[in-house]
Structure 1
Amino acid sequence: MATPAFEEIAETFEFLDDWEDRYRHVIELGKEMAAMDPALQVPATKVEGCASQVWIMPTISGGRFDFQGDSDALIVRGLIAILHALYSGVPVAEVTAIDAPAELGRLGLEEHLSAQRSNGLRAMVERIRLLAAAA
């Protein structure tokens, strides 16, 4: 059920044997992600439950889900980029059907993220699901 963009990330992770290489790739994904307009970084778009500052602003166009996101931490920006690849362009009605833990599990992130980062990642996924459900 993953998008082609997420499948591309999963394939890249398969080729990167070392977690340090994967970690660098996550950071690179975050650096490549378009910056979120600072005017959108307000309490209403802030994701609670993250150790870092995280903002997610949804957009629905043509019945498809998308979002802008940003963080003050490079690794978290990379995690947002991965979530963007997982959810961007998916029909709004299908967002909540995506098994994010299983898809993200294919990348082996949970094994290497701190407990705080893992909790933050779960908070971001939950926020995306709630935003899509409310749309």
Structure 2
Amino acid sequence: MTALPPAAAEALDTFGQASGWEQRARLLMQWGERLEPLDESERSEANLVSGCESRVWLVGAPDAGRWHFRAASDARLIRGLLAVLLARVNGLDEGELAGVDMADWFNRLGLSRQLSPSRSNGMNAVLQRMRELTG
């Protein structure tokens, strides 16, 4: 297994110290505020992720073979989930991104039990869209 990006290691440490769901939910809201903003032009139909109940926009670009993604959503909790997903995948190359196990990641953060099936499907759709962008 590849070493975690620094932001992912920080997320694991932070969420690992949370005493329960209420504290994790607060952390998710805080992490959601960290998302790099998207320009209005980036909030386009072309960047809208299909398969999400909430509206989610995703853009990505390679930098020396490593990918950097930015995302936005109208829903606060989804922004937090996007932030911890981006912490896990930003800086990975295409092969590393293909090996990301999203269910395992959210489980390690202590968030999997609170992911409703629709949120889980939405996060899977975001990860799938990332893989399409890198392929």
Q: Does 1:41 align with 2:43?
A: yes
CA–CA distance in 1 between the matches of 2:101 and 2:117? 20
Matches within 5 A, 1:15-30: 15-30=17-32
1:41 aligned partner, one-letter code:
R
Matches within 5 A, 1:114-129: 114-129=116-131
Q: Does 1:81 align with 2:83?
A: yes
CA RMSD of aligned residues (A): 1.3
Following superposition, the deviation at residue 115 of structure 1 comes to 2.0
Following superposition, the deviation at residue 47 of structure 1 comes to 0.6
Structure 2 unmatched ranges of 5 or more: none
Match of residue 94 from structure 2: 92
Match of residue 52 from structure 2: 50
Deviation string for 1:83-127 (max 9, x for gaps)? 111111112332112222212220122201222212111111111
CA–CA distance in 2 between the matches of 1:109 and 1:117? 11
Contact 1:60–1:92 (8 Å) recurs in 2: no
CA–CA distance in 2 between the matches of 1:46 and 1:98? 22
Report percent identity of matched pairs: 35
CA–CA distance in 2 between the matches of 1:128 and 1:101? 16
1:60 aligned partner, one-letter code:
P
Deviation string for 1:44-82 (max 9, x for gaps)? 111111111000011111111011110001111111111
Contact 1:10–1:107 (8 Å) recurs in 2: yes
What is the TM-score with the length of structure 2 in the denominator? Answer: 0.91
List structure 1 segments (4+ residues) > 3 angstroms apart after TM superposition. Answer: none
Structure 1 unmatched ranges of 5 or more: none
Partner SS for 1:58: strand
What is the TM-score with the length of structure 1 in the denominator? Answer: 0.91
CA–CA distance in 1 between the matches of 2:29 and 2:73? 12
